[in-house]
Amino acid sequence: MLPRIILLAAGMLLLTQLAESYSSRCRTGWSSYRHNCYLVIKDRQSWTGAQVVCEMLNANLATITSSSENSAVARMVKSAGAYDAWVGLNDFAKEGSFHGIKSSSRASYTCWKSGQPNNFGGNQNCAALYSNMFWHDDNCSLSKMFVCEY
Ligand SMILES: [Ca+2]
Ligand SMILES: [Ca+2]
């Protein structure tokens, strides 16, 4: 009887440890959501500068591909105290056709604020996520907080 109880206890301990390693698989300070890890960087950068910083952290500007991911990242942006934050969407290649950092095809999921993207002034080619979870295109040279993802 005793060995069985010990085995059971050992099994539960193993499960607990597995659960812990799963929930903390992101590097220290990064937040996990589903299969990815995110960090809102409060040091304001241009969109290009932001991507450089993310790359130095072995990450990229966040590419958001679902409404649940969008809500999760928006919560992170809000808790960082950001009004808005750069994410990894741009329309450099073709005006009005926004795609992610690593994709050449148009993003299938978007959450633009009503009236956006509007390419205001003919010079808004980078996307930022408001803490209320809607997106807008803005001038890429503006300095904003940003979200890295890996
Ligand atoms: Ca544009
Ligand atoms: Ca805009």
The CATH number of the domain holding residue 103 is 3.10.100.10
Range with lowest mean pLDDT among 52-56, 101-105, 112-116, 142-146 = 101-105
Who wins on pLDDT, 3 or 71? 71
Token representation of residue 112: 């633009």
In a domain, 59, yes or no: yes
Q: How far is the CA of 60 from the centre of ligand 2 (A)?
A: 22
What pLDDT was estimated at residue 4? 72
> Radius of gyration of the chain from Cα atoms?
19
In a domain, 11, yes or no: no
Ligand nearest to the backbone CA of 137: 2
**Domain span at residue 63?**
29-149
Q: How far is the CA of 99 from the centre of ligand 1 (A)?
A: 11
Instruction: State whether residue 21 is helix, strand or coil.
Output: helix
pLDDT at 105 over 90: no
**pTM of the complete model:** 0.84
Q: How far is the CA of 39 from the centre of ligand 1 (A)?
A: 26
What pLDDT was estimated at residue 129? 98
What pLDDT was estimated at residue 19? 56
In a domain, 37, yes or no: yes
Who wins on pLDDT, 104 or 108? 108
* Percent of all residues in the chain with a pLDDT value above 70, rounded to a whole number: 85
Q: Which residue shows structure tokens 């999760």?
A: 72
In a domain, 85, yes or no: yes
Ligand nearest to the backbone CA of 120: 2
In a domain, 9, yes or no: no
In a domain, 111, yes or no: yes
In a domain, 115, yes or no: yes
pLDDT at 18 over 60: no
What pLDDT was estimated at residue 90? 97
pLDDT at 7 over 70: no
Q: What is the mean pLDDT of residues 65-87?
A: 97
Q: How far is the CA of 112 from the centre of ligand 2 (A)?
A: 10
Q: How far is the CA of 94 from the centre of ligand 1 (A)?
A: 8
In a domain, 112, yes or no: yes
Domain count, the chain: 1
What pLDDT was estimated at residue 46? 98
Is residue 41 a contact partner of residue 148, using CB atoms and an 8 Å limit? Answer: yes
Ligand nearest to the backbone CA of 126: 1
Ligand nearest to the backbone CA of 138: 2
Is residue 35 a contact partner of residue 68, using CB atoms and an 8 Å limit? Answer: no
How far apart are the C-alpha atoms of 40 and 43, rounded to whole Å?
A: 9
Q: How far is the CA of 124 from the centre of ligand 2 (A)?
A: 6
* Mean of pLDDT over the chain: 91
